[in-house]
Amino acid sequence: MRAMHRDRANGLPFMKMHGLGNDFVVVDARAHDPGITEALARALGDRHFGVGFDQLAVIERGRGDAHLTFYNADGSLSAACGNATRCVAQYLMAESSQEKLHLTTARGDLVAEARADGLVAVNMGQPQLHWAEVPLAREMETLELPIEGAPTATGMGNPHCTFFVEDVSAVALESFGPQIEHHPLYPERTNVQVAQLLGPDHLRMRVWERGVGITWASGSSSCACAVAAARRGLTGRAVRIDLDGGTLWIDWREDGVWMTGPTAHVFDGTLTREFLESFA
């Protein structure tokens, strides 16, 4: 697979990828600094005036096989993005013919593996269960927060708030999501999940992502939801989670929370010099 490196004066190559409809623009910056700024990320994420994405992932050289930096659609940074990590891992493994990668992120060191069935798994690390690690605004137990609905707080390198409900389709996520995202208990805002138990170790989940909005899927949210369900005794540690865009399998093991699912590389493109210079 051809590496996507080019001088910015001639435009900036990118890849469009998705995991279950959770879509990404991926920029390979291992050869050249693409000069990504908050303003450029926000413009690129606009689905009318840019390319459009839930997250932007920038591949850089690092201590391991690569370092990944993530931006949300509003231009803000995110330490973790599970589905984007899996998509980038698939690209790098195809490029190098490796079946296992060591990736670094602001979240920490992550291991990704190719599965024989064509799916990609990534170890998202241990969940952060202490209030200060999530983080929350003040000391409290994270299993049931003092918010109506008694949600569970979990950190996966980014903050999460998980509500367990009778019917996820009955929740007006377009209004409920931003209300919880900006709740004063979450000083860095939060991702919001609503989940219902469908059967033994089987959950249905919908997602409002911090800095993005409603998304078809979210890897880190799925990990947080699985951890919350296990902590509350609703499921075991290995669960199937059905999202709007498809299914992920989460396994909270001794070495971390493993997430497995499909990836898709949709197309390659090049940002024009004119577009880039408007944010220079």
DSSP string across 7-19: -GGG-EEEEEEEE
pLDDT for 207 beyond 50: yes
Q: What pLDDT shows up at residue 277?
A: 86
Q: What pLDDT shows up at residue 280?
A: 63
- Report yes or no on whether pTM surpasses 0.85: yes
pLDDT for 48 beyond 70: yes
Distance in angstroms (rounded) separating the CA atoms of residues 249 and 240: 5
- Rounded to 5 degrees, φ, ψ at 257 are -100, 115
Q: What pLDDT shows up at residue 9?
A: 66
Q: What is the pLDDT of residues 60-109, one digit of tens each?
A: 998 899 999 999 999 999 998 999 999 999 999 999 999 999 999 998 99
Distance in angstroms (rounded) separating the CA atoms of residues 222 and 173: 16
Q: What pLDDT shows up at residue 62?
A: 87
278 pLDDT band, cuts 50/70/90, is confident
% of residues, the chain, pLDDT over 70? 96
Spell out a b/e string for 111-140, using b for 16 or more CB atoms within 10 Å of the CB, else e.
Answer: bbbbeeeebbbbbbbbbbbebeebbbeeee
pLDDT for 4 beyond 70: no
